[in-house]
Each structure stands twice: as C-alpha cells, then as structure tokens.
Amino acid sequence: MSRCAVAATSTSPETWPRPSLWNSGRGCPHFAPVRPLSSPAAGCTIRRGYPLPQFSFSTVRRRLEAHEASLSPHAARSATGRGRAVPEEPSPVRTEFQRDRDRIIHSKAFRRLKHKTQVFIAPVGDHFVTRLTHTLEVAQIARTITRALNLNEDLAEAIALAHDIGHPPFGHAGEQALADLTPEGFRHAEQSLRVVDKLERLNLTLEVLDGIVNSSKVREDIFAEAWGVPSTLEGQIVKISDAVAYINHDIADAVRANLISEDELPGEVHHVLGDRHSQRINTLVCDIIEASWAAAGEESDAATEIGIHMSDDVAAAANVLREFMFQRVYLLEGRQEETERAKNVVRVLYDHFSQHPDEIESDFVILDDPAWRRAVDYVAGMTDRFALATAERLGAPKSAGRLAGRP
C-alpha cells in the first residue's frame, strides 16, 4: 500500500465520501467509484474532481471472448459449445468451462480424492501418490500440451480434474470388486459421470461430460478406441495425459515399495523415453505436441489429419512400459493377498448397504434407484480409511478389514 493510501485510510471518516452500493445488472453488488481526495498528511496531493474509470463487466466478457477467439480453429469454445442440460445465465467473469472447473474443485467428491488410493493400498509413507495428486498431475500435463497447441486450456483442466472423481476406494482392486458384484458392472469413468451429473448435480457442459466418460483406456494400447474417444481434442489430450502421468508416478511408487528398481525397466524405455522421471515425462509431452501440431491450426495442408498423436517409436515404448507395469506392479502375484483383502472390504460394504439402503447417507441417495445402485454409489464414494472403518464397525472379519501398508 502506498504512503498516500495509508495516510488516506487513517484520516477522519468524515473527510471521505461514503461509497454507495450499486448493482451491475447481473446481481453482483459492488461499491460505486468515488472521487479521489487530497492527502496533505501524506505529503502529496490527489486532484479533486478527477473521476475513477467506471467498471464494466462487459469489458471482462469481451476479454474472455477475445481470448477464446484467438485459439486454434480446432479448439472447443464455450461461447459456441453444446451448452448444459439445464440452461443457465452466463457468468460475467468466467467462461462456461471455467465455471465447470470451479464447480468440480468445490465439490465434496473432489475433496475425497486425497484419501483414495492410486495403486498401493493403505501405504505407509508420505510420498505415495493418491487420486488427488494423480489428478493434479494429469491436469498439469494436459494444460501444458493444450497451451502449446493453442487449444482450450480451461476445458482440458475441467475434464482432467473430474476424470477420476468416481473412482472407488482401494484403486483398481475396489473397481474390480464392484464390477463383479453389481448387476450392470462398474467402470470408474461412468461412475465419474454419474457423480458430477446425478449425485453432485453440477450441471456441467456437455463437452466436459463427454471428456469424463470417454477418459478410460484399455491395457493393450494407449490410443485404443474400445472405451470411447472424446469428441474434443482437449478431451483426447486429457485421456493421453492420464497415461503419461500414471505410468511415470507409478514407477516411483513401485521403486519406493521395493517392487522394482529403475534399472529393471525395459531397455526400449530407457533408450526412447529416458532414464529419469522428468526425462520420460518431457519426452512424452514434447512428442505429443510435435506429433499433434496440426491441431494448433497452423497447417495449411487440408489433408493433414487433425488429432492427438504420438510418434510410432514413442507410442511403442510407452505401451511397453505400461505392459511392464501391469506385469510387475499392477497384477503382481505377490500383491494378490493385499488385493483380495481390499476386495473383501468392498464386498462386506456392498452386501450390507444393498440390504440396508436406509443406512446410506442422503448425499448418495436418488430415491428412484434400486437398493443395489444406492449401495454402489455409497461404497464408490468412500475413501480408503472410511471404508476400512465402516467395514470394521459392521463386524467384518479381521482378515477382511486389515490392510498392511508397504514401507
């Protein structure tokens, strides 16, 4: 604060005009501009009668729209997007995708991600990845790629922040347990859509919903289309950024858990992607940007395919690394006892709440849903520690409720 400002605020209130509240026309109250005063006590003079510039929300809107207009012709634009299931008045200071991002961040389901497992179940240690830290890494990688390609960074960020919001406790062990138990199966991408749309009722834009439900990948190929392809380039970027994030941070967790060492990674991975965590991420991100450069809108060749890609050698090395992680970490036989214990916890919870749906918290209840559906929503929304505590309260066998963390 300047010397003038400090002195001015310390003068008698009677020397200052009282600002009146005014309304912008969009239901947002603000103080009306006042005329500046002289402040002899501060040793400086401010000319009386010199009006402060009038604030207008239309200026903010014009800047937001001008920024979107400057994006690649292949970028998604909120101003010309598909809208929401329930139409809303536009915000004077945010685009529609920015509003989606903010709603996701402020949701209860997003907060619970900090206590949900990524790969290792109930790990002992401060540096193991959680669903929340994974989500933030995906958002960072997606924003970097999107910005470089002059696409819509706000849309990519919103999709990234919600892509795992419906993941159940205990990582993929919890997901597989629910898939085996429920009449209609279970996929976390579909549950993420249900969380934001039905349970939290965030009324997100259709572009964000599309990116969420099509974010899953099959084991064999990062770019396989078996579980859907997002309709926007930003959604495609999030889908690939998810893989870039997890195959790298899961290596660090596996090394920390003494399951593998960096030296055991396939030679092709070292040769093509690099030896260190930062090298691998940098190689993958830069390769995606280079291979997808046509999406930036600077290619004059109309025959150029517009999409999000990797070069053949980098994509092959990434798939080799994913398969290595499946064999040595995700599906490791030595972890099966831990995995079965986690599944048993989920079974105990699902069986109990599908038989006693009246005990389910109201935030997870849609009255027209059958009991099994309510139980799925409730169990999938639990954090690891809440699931363990609830199973123990319900009298689960010690072998089902005890999960030993790895050092």
324, part of any domain: yes
Instruction: Find the domain containing 395 and state its range.
Output: 337-401
Residues 231, 347: one domain? no
- Asked if 322 and 343 sit in the same domain, the reply is no
Q: Do 35 and 116 sit in the same domain of this protein?
A: no
Q: Structurally, how many domains does the chain consist of?
A: 3
Q: What's the pLDDT at 216? A: 81
**241 part of a folded domain:** yes
Is the domain of 289 the same as that of 382? no
Domain boundary among 314, 333, 352: 333
What's the pTM? 0.83
My answer on whether 256 and 385 are in the same domain is no
Tens-digit pLDDT profile for the chain (407 aa)?
Answer: 444 443 444 444 444 444 444 444 444 544 444 444 454 554 555 455 555 567 788 888 889 888 999 999 999 999 899 999 999 999 999 999 999 999 999 999 999 999 998 776 656 556 678 899 999 999 999 999 999 999 999 999 999 999 999 999 998 899 999 999 999 999 999 999 999 999 999 999 999 999 999 988 665 566 666 678 899 999 999 999 999 998 888 888 888 888 889 899 999 999 999 999 999 999 999 999 999 999 998 865 665 789 999 999 999 999 999 999 888 887 766 677 888 989 999 999 999 999 999 999 988 888 889 999 999 999 999 999 999 999 999 987 654 444 444 32
22 pairs with which residues across the strands?
A: 30
Residue 348: name the closest of 387, 297, 312, 307 by CA: 387
- Rounded CA-CA distance 166/382 in Å is 10
In a domain, 357, yes or no: yes
Are 11 and 30 contained in the same domain? yes
CA distance 7 to 347: 67
Task: Give yes or no for a contact between 313 and 321, defined as CB atoms under 8 angstroms apart.
Answer: no
Q: Is 229 exposed, middle or buried (0-12, 13-18, 19+ CB in 10 A)?
A: middle
Same domain, yes or no: 379 and 268: no
In a domain, 108, yes or no: yes
What is the pLDDT at residue 196?
98
342 and 267 both lie in a single domain: no
pLDDT of residue 255: 87
Task: For residue 200, give the CATH number of its domain.
Answer: 1.10.3210.10
